[in-house]
Chains A and B, each alone.
Chain A
């Protein structure tokens, strides 16, 4: 292994920064999918007809119990061969990552819904509130308060899994480091180190913010 070289650090940094921006973009897109799809599935599991609940439960159990890497490679290959080879690795990778993590966020939402006391549902029934108000004004605000910190932690975990997408050619940081190394036969240590530092620099403040959010919600008046 070559020795640490500061010149390489300076040279590789712009590409690594580019990769970091891609990581953030993937996190944003996949995070939105994970947050919204997880919520929809959790609600569907509560109010959907029995057949839908069985299907959702089986599908997301399957997703949760198979490796992300296998899912990424499978969906990328399947979409390239059978649907549209023009679809970008960024789009496919973000979608797979988002759906994969929706299978975890839905569990956090589900736990938040189940933690709502039965008396809340009964009061809503006694007042004949329409279903959209029961969910929009009573259940979701209370559930989100309980689930917000757990969902934020899943998004942080997902952020750290974005490098998985390098296997399908998403030019995130690991891919950039490997590209540099492939061209210069050097710079892998510097590249991976920069990647690690950037991941830490981005995820640590978010983790601290998530913990603060959790504490603040615990102390809030509702």
Chain B
């Protein structure tokens, strides 16, 4: 079943709803992301930014619409339904098997790193390559060593995560996500849990990734300088809706909406 959009979008939210109990976090949200685009989502806490990333990573599930064909409520990735699957010519809520397959092209870096503490650095980066992608151990290790060199941690392959600083752990997490060769990389406040002096290293690595790859990125961050440098587009969210969107220079230098102006004033004053 083709996506109801142009074939150019790599991600499409089509009137997506998401509620947690009585709390509606996303209300008919629609947007598209082009392949290779770097989109930063900004907005106050609770505006739905992280929920968007978690829906894409299938850690949360959309609130199902009654009739996806008529009402939308479906997330599409690379022209195929992610939150739903086709069954008998209709879209139905995706089962675990569909989700497992569909999310292989998506990688995520978490705010709190979420490295596996019982595995050394190298195995953290090879585990899913071997057991999800089916790569040989040698191939996975070679790829892991390359990526750990890219993030400046080639000397730490035999360390446990607990022996690394927060910034080093986050760089391992970036290497782990990149090792899966994702088409889409989701970055969820990846510097929020770091001491200020460690932020620059992590952002430096992500700048390199942005400069040297064509991976589509969705970034949730309060690092406005970083957002300005790497993004093609910034979307300002409030209460599950896009308040304003545009090129970084436009949004950061000359925001049109009062809500965006207030938010940026508050963030930049921090």
Chain A partners chain B: yes
What is the interface of chain A, defined by CB distance below 8 A to chain B? 117, 119-120, 122-123, 125-130, 133, 137-138, 141-142, 145, 221-222
Closest to A132 in B: B131
* Residues in B neighbouring A126, C-beta threshold 8 A: 57, 59, 103, 106-108, 110, 177
Q: How many A-B residue contacts, CB cutoff 8 Å?
A: 66
Distance between Cα atoms of A125 and B104 in the complex (Å):
10
Given that A120-B116, A137-B127 are contacting pairs, would A221 and B160 also be in contact in the complex, using a CB cutoff of 8 Å?
A: yes
A119 touches B114 (CB 8 A): yes
Among A123, A125, A129, A137, max chain B CB count under 10 A is at A123
Query: Besides A123-B114, A127-B132, A221-B163, 11 other CB < 8 A contacts?
Result: A119-B114, A125-B59, A126-B59, A126-B177, A127-B127, A127-B128, A128-B132, A129-B128, A137-B118, A137-B131, A222-B161
19 A-B residue pairings within 8 Å (CB atoms): A119-B110, A119-B113, A120-B114, A123-B110, A123-B115, A125-B103, A126-B59, A126-B106, A126-B107, A128-B103, A128-B128, A129-B127, A129-B131, A129-B132, A138-B118, A221-B162, A222-B117, A222-B119, A222-B160
Nearest first, the 4 closest Cβ-Cβ pairs linking A and B are A127-B128, A123-B114, A119-B114, A221-B160
* Residues in B neighbouring A130, C-beta threshold 8 A: 131-132
Closest to B116 in A: A138
Q: Which of B225-252 contact A (CB under 8 A)?
A: none
Distance between Cα atoms of A127 and B107 in the complex (Å):
7
Min CB distance B132 to A, Å, is: 5
A145 touches B176 (CB 8 A): no
Interface string of B80-106 (1 = CB under 8 A from A): 000000000000000000001001101
Q: Which of B57-76 contact A (CB under 8 A)?
A: 57-59
* Residues in A neighbouring B113, C-beta threshold 8 A: 119
Distance between Cα atoms of A8 and B118 in the complex (Å):
55
* Residues in A neighbouring B108, C-beta threshold 8 A: 126
Among A120, A126, A129, A137, max chain B CB count under 10 A is at A126
Given that A119-B110, A133-B131, A221-B163 are contacting pairs, would A125 and B57 also be in contact in the complex, using a CB cutoff of 8 Å?
A: yes
Of the residues B112, B117, B160, B180, contact of A127 by C-beta under 8 Å: B180
Given that A126-B108, A127-B180, A221-B163 are contacting pairs, would A137 and B128 also be in contact in the complex, using a CB cutoff of 8 Å?
A: no
What is the interface of chain B, defined by CB distance below 8 A to chain A? 57-59, 100, 103-104, 106-108, 110, 112-119, 127-128, 131-132, 160-163, 176-177, 180
Distance between Cα atoms of A123 and B58 in the complex (Å):
11
Distance between Cα atoms of A137 and B132 in the complex (Å):
13
Distance between Cα atoms of A141 and B113 in the complex (Å):
19
Closest to B123 in A: A137
Among B57, B110, B116, max chain A CB count under 10 A is at B116
* Residues in B neighbouring A145, C-beta threshold 8 A: 118
Distance between Cα atoms of A127 and B178 in the complex (Å):
11
Distance between Cα atoms of A148 and B163 in the complex (Å):
23
Closest to B58 in A: A125
B59 touches A142 (CB 8 A): no
Given that A128-B104, A137-B127, A142-B118 are contacting pairs, would A122 and B59 also be in contact in the complex, using a CB cutoff of 8 Å?
A: yes
Distance between Cα atoms of A52 and B132 in the complex (Å):
29
Min CB distance A165 to B, Å, is: 38
* Residues in B neighbouring A120, C-beta threshold 8 A: 114, 116
Among A120, A127, A128, A222, max chain B CB count under 10 A is at A127
* Residues in A neighbouring B163, C-beta threshold 8 A: 221
Among B100, B131, B161, B163, max chain A CB count under 10 A is at B131
Min CB distance B133 to A, Å, is: 9
* Residues in B neighbouring A128, C-beta threshold 8 A: 100, 103-104, 128, 132
Closest to B112 in A: A119
A142 touches B117 (CB 8 A): yes
* Residues in B neighbouring A142, C-beta threshold 8 A: 117-118
Distance between Cα atoms of A177 and B176 in the complex (Å):
63
Min CB distance A218 to B, Å, is: 12
* Residues in B neighbouring A138, C-beta threshold 8 A: 116, 118
